[in-house]
Amino acid sequence: MRLTRNILASLLAFLLILLLFLPVWFISGICRREAFIYSSARLVIGAAVRVLGVRTVVRGLDAVDLSRPPVIISNHLSNLDGPLLVLALPLNPRVLIKSEARRIPLVGWVMKLAGFVFVDRSSAPRRQEALAAAVERITRARCPFLVFPEGTRSRDGVTRPFKRGGFLIARRAGVPVLPVRISGTQRLLPPGRATCAAGTVFIDVFPLVDPGQVAESELPGLIRGLQQKLYTEEKA
């Protein structure tokens, strides 16, 4: 049953991507209506996760003021995390993502069209260029950003130390950080597994944090305190 659901979800997603390719290219690429990319992405993701039997429960969102574009930071457990966050949050976040993702057929092109920032993690100067590009897009287009500050998926479910890149982006752009904790995706699609199980994913949204209240040299302490408070125990 699980394999059947995964095959059907993959076929459905592929067909929807093919059907939406030309409209996305015209409306988003030619007419510069980037919001259409996110509407299309939510259609594809929503259809796929319904077939897979994946349900999301969002908690804490109503108490957050989203009038300013935040930098969303989240723990990272699975390849499901990014798509589910885009599906569940009422934002159209650009994403700071590893450069290898641009090589994914069709999807990499859509990411570039949406304004994602690709970062070469092997090069310090290029990492700084990526941070600067993210800051520029936030300040120019007033768009939110999604960053996974661990840099990669956790293999055992334990949150790794956060890097400060996402916090630097928020501080330099003058916007808050929106901490989000995602729970359950590792059980459904852990790193190394090819098929996704059915189940429930919980997305907890926490109060905004303003990294502009501290000096850049004090960011590591702010990050450690935030991580210890919100991400030490990932419970559903």
67 vs 56, more confident: 56
Domain containing 182: what range?
55-231
Looking at the DSSP bridge assignments, the partners of residue 191 are: none
For the purposes of burial, counting CB atoms within 10 Å of the CB of 131, is it exposed (0-12), middle (13-18) or buried (19 or more)? buried
Count the domains in the chain.
1
CATH code, domain carrying 64 = 3.40.1130.10
Is there a domain that residue 42 lies in? Answer: no
- Those residues with Cβ within 8 angstroms of residue 137's Cβ, 6 or more apart along the chain or in another chain: 94, 115, 117, 143, 145
Average model confidence (pLDDT) across the chain: 90
Categorize the per-residue pLDDT at 233 as very low, low, confident or very high, splitting at 50, 70 and 90: low
The predicted model scores a pTM of: 0.89
Tell whether 178 is covered by a domain. yes
> Is residue 72 a part of any domain in this protein?
yes
Q: Would you say 110 and 20 are in contact if contact means Cβ atoms under 8 Å apart?
A: no
Whether residue 25 is contained in a domain is answered as no
- Is residue 146 domain-resident? yes
CA distance 210 to 208: 7
Express each pLDDT in 80-129 by its tens digit.
999 999 999 999 999 888 888 888 877 888 888 888 999 887 888 888 99
Q: For 163-181, how does the pLDDT look when each residue is reduced to its tens digit (9 = 90+)?
A: 999 999 999 999 999 999 9
Could you report the per-residue pLDDT of 195-217, keeping only the tens digit for each? 999 999 999 999 999 999 998 88
